């Protein structure tokens, strides 16, 4: 049994693929996790390979109850809102914010793949066979801390439209005959209703009338090895998230901006270390984010990817 398997990642596409070779799921908005089950115990690893077993006690306890001696489950830890939608901000708050050490008993693992099963490596097996074994291990429905992320029998365009009408993040398409290949190779595709990516916080504009005194975050994207200013975001905060964010930023204050932001009033600049997940609708003609909204800080342990203007979005 491998100590770790690098995850298969979904490639961003504008439209769902056509044809019978593709199957679809809802795209969940949380933390990617691998759950390793062995006779000696359970390990829960983040996308970056960090051990977070203690952070998700309910998922770990449920994993021990599954009828299997050895397995590796691939899934997404989420916290649902009152409408049953996965909410990244709620998940992060349940863990105590970025860098927090709190345990989340609210988080549910939505499992969508099975990489190892009872002594057998399944990564070289086609998706349909892996799913068949997974569905026998984690049945659909239920209210447990580990649940099946169900495949949806639907045309991709129809499913995307329904997902967007229900304010979901988007859908995932998977090639039904694909083996499990680590990296972003096109076997899995993601199609989003609203764009959401990671951007580096390079500072903020102060405001006495806003939560945490944050009027607007100043954001940057990558362009190869450089950082480029892509505008700001002043919505999406609540009192709790803004207070936590301000606490993190106050540790990183610097005298001069890390990137050229143009003239800014009441600006405080910080070291470019924090990665914020930002929702946005489009880009302006001069390369700035339009209708941006703050969702939360990404974790280093989650391999926080930063949007690259050269076309390599996370």
CB 16 within 8 A of CB 159: yes
Return the domain boundaries, the chain: 11-192, 195-302
- Supply the pLDDT for residue 100: 64
The CATH number of domain 11-192 is 3.30.470.30: yes
CB 222 within 8 A of CB 306: yes
Can you give the pTM of this predicted structure? Answer: 0.75
Which alpha helices (H) appear in 138-288, and where do they start and end? Answer: 156-165, 239-250
The CATH number of domain 195-302 is 3.40.228.10: no
At 165 the three-state DSSP class reads: helix
- Supply the pLDDT for residue 314: 42
- Supply the pLDDT for residue 255: 93
For residue 144, give both structure tokens.
């447990």
Q: Which residues are catalytic?
A: 27
Distance, CA of 161 to CA of 45 (rounded, Å): 33
Closest C-alpha to 181, from 258, 253, 58, 74:
74
The stretches in the chain having pLDDT less than 50 are 312-314
- The reply to whether 195-302 shares the fold of 11-192 is no
Q: How many CB atoms lie within 10 A of CB 33?
A: 25
- Supply the pLDDT for residue 302: 65
For residue 306, give both structure tokens.
């930063």
């Amino acid at each position: 049994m491998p100590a770790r398997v690098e995850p298969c990642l979904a490639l961003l596409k504008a439209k769902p693929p056509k044809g019978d070779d593709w199957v679809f799921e809802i795209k969940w908005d949380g933390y990617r996790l691998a759950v390793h089950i062995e006779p000696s115990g359970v390990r829960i690893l983040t996308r970056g390979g960090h051990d977070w077993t203690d952070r998700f006690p309910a998922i770990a306890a449920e994993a021990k109850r599954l009828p299997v001696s050895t397995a590796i489950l691939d899934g997404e830890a989420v916290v649902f809102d009152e409408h049953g939608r996965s909410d990244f901000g709620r998940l992060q708050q349940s863990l105590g914010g970025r860098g927090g050490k709190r345990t989340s008993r609210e988080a549910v693992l939505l499992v969508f793949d099975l990489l190892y099963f009872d002594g057998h490596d399944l990564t070289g097996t086609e998706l349909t066979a892996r799913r068949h074994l997974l569905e026998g291990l984690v049945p659909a429905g239920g209210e447990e801390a580990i649940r099946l992320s169900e495949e949806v029998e639907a045309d991709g365009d129809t499913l995307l439209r329904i997902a967007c009408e229900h304010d979901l993040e988007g859908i995932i398409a998977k090639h039904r005959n694909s083996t499990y290949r680590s990296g972003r190779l096109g076997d899995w595709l993601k199609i989003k209703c609203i764009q959401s990516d990671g951007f580096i916080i390079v500072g903020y504009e102060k405001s006495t009338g806003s939560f945490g005194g944050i009027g607007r975050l100043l954001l940057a994207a990558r362009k190869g090895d450089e950082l480029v200013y892509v505008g700001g975001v002043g919505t999406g905060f609540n009192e709790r998230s803004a207070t936590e964010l301000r606490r993190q930023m106050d540790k990183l204050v610097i005298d001069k901006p890390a990137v050229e932001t143009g003239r800014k009033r009441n600006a405080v600049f910080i070291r470019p270390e924090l990665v914020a997940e930002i929702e946005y609708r489009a880009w302006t003609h001069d390369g700035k984010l339009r209708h941006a909204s703050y969702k939360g800080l990404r974790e280093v342990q989650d391999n926080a990817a930063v949007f690259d203007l050269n076309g390599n979005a996370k």
